[in-house]
Amino acid sequence: RRGASGGGSTGLGLAIARSAAEATGGTIHIERGKLGGARIRLRLPEAGVDHVGADEPRAWRLWRERRGSRSAPP
């Protein structure tokens, strides 16, 4: 599949964005563009704001527990 730039696409961008949103407690919204294409909004929480959720990746939980920290790793 070719994007607007004419280059090839692996199709991984949305999957990566969705994983980032889920891992941090953010959101992703995808809408059809008025003239074609799509509009994608990725919202991530502000740095330093605590996020404790059931969907938190296990690696991050372990990292926090070992450091005694409540924030996500850098």
Sorted by sequence, the CB contacts under 8 Å of residue 19 that are 6+ apart come out as: none
Residues in a beta bridge with 19: none
Q: Which residue has the higher pLDDT, 41 or 9?
A: 41
pTM of the model: 0.48
Q: Is residue 37 part of a domain?
A: yes
pLDDT at 35: 86
Q: Is residue 73 part of a domain?
A: no
Q: Is residue 8 part of a domain?
A: no
Query: What is the rounded CA–CA span in Å between residue 61 and residue 41?
Result: 26
pLDDT at 74: 53
Q: Which residue has the higher pLDDT, 10 or 28?
A: 28
Domain that holds residue 61: 13-67
Domain count for the chain, please give it.
Answer: 1
Q: Is residue 6 part of a domain?
A: no
